[in-house]
Amino acid sequence: MQRMLFPPLKALMGSPCVRLLVPRATPRTQYGCSCGIKRPWRPGQYSTISEVALQSGKGTVSLPSKAAEQVVGRWLLFCSGTVAGAVILGGVTRLTESGLSMVDWHLIKEMKPPTSQEEWEAEFQKYQQFPEFKILNHDMTLAEFKFIWYMEYSHRMWGRLVGLAYILPAAYFWRKGWLSRGMKGCVLVLCGLVCFQGLLGWYMVKSGLEEKPDSHDIPRVSQYRLAAHLGSALVLYCASLWTSLSLLLPQHKLPETRQLLWLRRFAHGTAGLVFLTALSGAFVAGLDAGLVYNSFPKMGESWIPEDLFTFSPTLRNVFENPTMVQFDHRLLGISSVTAVTVLYFLSQRIPLPRRTKMAAVTLLALAYIQVGLGISTLLMYVPTPLAATHQSGSLALLSAALWFMNELRRVPK
């Protein structure tokens, strides 16, 4: 009887499905969202994606936990790519002054572009009722209007594609049980941020459609709303990219030395500085500040221009004075490339894995390329192709900073 009973029972207890249902004896630390928040697992909880699905009564999942993490990681990497495309396309839309061509916002209705001559003329007539046409484009033809309309239309449709890229796979993975508890919270935040982005984009456009009787300046969107729109897009991009890298790249078991601790802190500060520099570019774009003082390294004939503090109160100059806005963006750019250079040399003093060293070299190279693109854009009076490349370079530099930070992340005990 023992020979007949114990071998099958022993084999059953050794099967993977049964092992997943056995509570763990010791607590583990699981990484949740892209913010790096650690949530300790209590004894008796399940830690892998497969275990969460089995615990919720969904039965055996079609993928083991590691494979599911790889799928989710690749999905978030793809999503971060779509966000990068939206940022780049939005920058081109701004550079071609196309953002105010669509004067209405409808989630479904505006997905169908005009097809007949009558529909195009009706759309053009609506545009003619707003300040941009009256002040800036009063001699615009219908053919020229079609170009800027299609630019804004492509940006809006790309934004909807970004929303679908996040929401539909998230619902599928959630139903399949491929998301752990922490990842579910992260995905909810990301999907909510995507929806917020769409509303914030229209809120930004509305600021450029408002009549301002006392102003004869070129109609443009509020630089504050533009910065908020870009900033939330950058947060969405960084969160998606960081989470995908954390799922896809094997973690290094680096010795926790004081040098590594300081390098990790400096890397975080450098990434924050790069983010702030990219965000300040929204104020440069919103105020057309790249069209003043097209010289380098001096601004005109002096290092510090005289009209730096023209507005009153003084704080207004930081966000509303084109001269100050460009001056700040220059300082932030120089500070960023200096910090990246210091970070690179600090990383050379510590024995690091090959992949981490590659991330450091990539970050350094992109920083100097970005500086070169910025100076060239300024000296050549902001040509659209070069300015769009400079904006794209800020995303590439931010990506490299996140990659290097991810390489240095702590191994959970």
pLDDT per position as a tens digit, 199-213: 999 999 999 988 876
pLDDT tens column, 301-320: 999 999 999 999 999 999 99
Q: What is the mean pLDDT of the chain?
A: 85
* pTM summary value: 0.83
Of 56-60, 247-251, 301-305, give the lowest mean pLDDT range. Answer: 56-60
Cβ proximity of 92 and 388 under 8 Å: yes
Confidence of residue 214 (pLDDT cuts 50, 70, 90): low
Average pLDDT, integer, range 144-150: 96
- Cis bond upstream, residue 297 (ω within 30): yes
The answer on pLDDT for 20 being more than 70 is: no
Q: What does the radius of gyration of the chain's CA atoms come to, in whole angstroms?
A: 26
Q: Where are the alpha helices (DSSP H) in 321-383?
A: 322-348, 354-379
Task: Supply 23's token pair.
Answer: 């509570």
User: Which has the higher per-residue pLDDT, 48 or 126?
Assistant: 126
**In whole angstroms, how far apart are CA 410 and each of 46, 189, 356?**
22, 23, 14
Cβ proximity of 402 and 239 under 8 Å: no
pLDDT tens column, 331-364: 999 999 999 999 999 999 999 999 999 999 999 9
Of 13-27, 84-98, 140-154, 176-190, give the lowest mean pLDDT range. Answer: 13-27
Domain residues of the chain, as ranges?
Answer: 64-248, 250-413
Strand segments, DSSP code E, in 33-150 are: 38-40
| Pairwise CA distance, residues 391 & 196, whole Å | 22
Average pLDDT, integer, range 222-229: 95
Of 48-62, 175-189, 361-375, give the lowest mean pLDDT range. Answer: 48-62
Confidence of residue 61 (pLDDT cuts 50, 70, 90): very low
Average pLDDT, integer, range 32-60: 40
pLDDT score of 106: 87
pLDDT score of 215: 61
pLDDT tens column, 83-107: 999 999 999 999 999 999 999 988 8
Q: What kind and span of H or E run contains 229?
A: helix 223-248
pLDDT score of 57: 41
DSSP state of 29: E
The answer on pLDDT for 241 being more than 90 is: yes
